[in-house]
Amino acid sequence: MTTTRFAPSPTGYIHVGNLRTALMNYLIARKTGGTFILRIDDTDQERSKEEYVEQLKRDLEWLGLEWDRVERQSLRLDRYAEAADQLRAMGRFYEVFETPTELDLKRKKQLNMGRPPVYDRAHLGLTDDQKAAFRAEGREGYWRFKLDQERIEWADGILGDISIDAASVSDPVLIRADGQVLYTLASVVDDTDMGVTHIVRGSDHVTNTATQIQIIQALGGAVPSFAHHSLLTGPQGEALSKRLGALSIKDLRAQGIEPMALLSLMARLGSSDPVELRASMDELIEGFDITRFGAAPTKFDEQDLFPLTARHLQSLSLDAVSADVAALGVPDDLAAQFWDVTRDNITTRADLAGWWTLCRDGAAPVIADEDRAFIAEAMALLPARPFDATTWSLWTAAVKEATGRKGKGLFMPLRLALTGQAHGPDMGALMPLLQVIRAKG
């Protein structure tokens, strides 16, 4: 049974970078008929907020990423304590007392000597008396995992064969001085206990994965299959990390981005396959292949989401937007006609409001000075309401006959006078929806 997980920390709103990780893990689980776990990594009680938990659930539900069960790390602290005791008993967990200032000085000295800034294990063999002396100074101990200094290797689902020398990596801190269990330990215990078989996450976790593999093995767990996707950059290759907060799923939704537009882009971005708008989650699942993704940084431009959203809306039937149309106050007998006329002329659902305002209240006419006499003459020839599908063609034919105008010189001034816009729906289809004509010439 394939089991994957999405494990966000509820310290902010989830963004496109988080979504990429969530989606890949979700698609792997669904393609194999496996289990997808939503795991809330909330061991940091000061920064974790319940409002973020609720919002991330709403975001995932809106996107259609349905989880099979929810787990919360804050409810598993006793289990992490058991694992820590197990590591202590094995001699793989040791207490240290260096201050951040002391560690920073060590790192700078190593760098000045041309050496990698790896923790020197100075406190590995502290005696009980030495520990008591540090505590008497007011220091609080924290706990590091003792790595076996050998090569750590795995076949990465995206990056290929990875080999990291553990001697080049510092023994990771797993429990802070205040007792908080850090991600590296909690994640390993959870993945092992929950039977997670596949883990997809960002390439910035590669070194972390190496240390976690040793912790998994020390605790007697089965090492999952790992895959590390590329990190997102801006459209010009610039770092995106500082902007991710502005690219939250919550904000993209507020801008009118459609779920399938966002999912279609994120399911292919960074792969060798072209981005294609998909009509359903089933199509996304069927077309997903983790081996098609590359390691190079991946450019993301949120503006690409808007044409995809427009194309998605164009594919929808009235049933899919009936609530949006009804909310505008469009009469039931005009709803289907209104949607057919406007669907190809909107980018987001919010654009529907502008078109209905135009139909209901009329548009402020745009009339060039040289066209005023022409528009006045044309308006005098406009048939009485109600308009129908033939009104535009019959009217423009009559105006052409009376004024001698033709082509763009005929049609554009009339469009501008009636709609105030140079572009929009076919006027023949739009005319029957116009409740008010404000142009007088």
**Helix pair angle (351-361, 332-342), 10° resolution:** 120
Q: Output the CA torsion 146→152→157→161 (10° steps).
A: 160
Average pLDDT in the 258-274 region? 96
Query: What's the pLDDT band for 52 if we cut at 50, 70, 90?
Result: very high
What one-letter code names the amino acid at 119?
Y
Quote the CA–CA distance of 150 and 386 in Å, as a whole number: 84
Q: What pLDDT is attached to residue 237?
A: 86
Q: Are 324 and 356 in contact (CB under 8 A)?
A: no
Q: Quick check: 11 pLDDT over 70?
A: yes
pLDDT tens-digit series, residues 198-250: 999 999 999 999 999 999 999 999 999 999 999 998 888 888 776 666 789 99
Instruction: Answer whether 34's CB lies under 8 Å from 14's CB.
Output: no
Quick one: pLDDT at residue 73?
A: 97
Long-range contact set of residues 147-156: C-beta below 8 Å, sequence gap at least 24 = 147/171, 147/172, 147/211, 147/214, 148/214, 152/210, 152/211, 152/213, 152/214, 154/209, 154/213, 154/223, 154/226, 155/225, 156/206, 156/226, 156/227, 156/228
pLDDT digits (tens, 9 = 90+) for 315-329: 999 999 999 999 999
CATH of domain 234-313: 1.10.1160.10
The rounded percent of the chain whose pLDDT value lies above 90 is: 94
The full set of domain ranges for the chain reads 234-313, 326-433
Q: What pLDDT, on a 0 to 100 scale, did the predictor assign at position 239? A: 80
Closest by CA position to 270, among listed 234, 251, 295, 241: 295
Structure confidence at residue 242 (pLDDT):
64
Q: Are strands 173-175 and 160-165 parallel, antiparallel or unpaired?
A: unpaired
For the segment 245-257, the average pLDDT, to the nearest whole number, is 91
pLDDT digit string (tens) for 134-162?
999 999 999 999 999 999 999 999 999 99
* pLDDT reported for residue 57: 98
Amino acid at site 414: L
What mean pLDDT do residues 89-104 have?
97
Please answer whether residues 199 and 191 qualify as being in contact, where contact means their C-beta atoms are separated by less than 8 angstroms: yes
pLDDT digits (tens, 9 = 90+) for 73-93: 999 999 999 999 999 999 999
Residue 305 pLDDT: 97
Q: What digits encode the pLDDT tens for the residues 298-315? A: 999 999 999 999 999 999
What percent of the chain is predicted at pLDDT more than 70? 99
Tell me: the pLDDT tens digits for 170-199? Answer: 999 999 999 999 999 999 999 999 999 999
Residue type, 153: E
Alpha-carbon gap, residue 140 to 99, rounded angstroms = 9
- This prediction has a pTM of 0.91
- Average pLDDT on 116-126 reads 95
pLDDT at 45: 87
3-state helix, strand, coil in the chain (%, to 5): 50, 15, 35
Residue tagged 């001699």 (tokens): 91
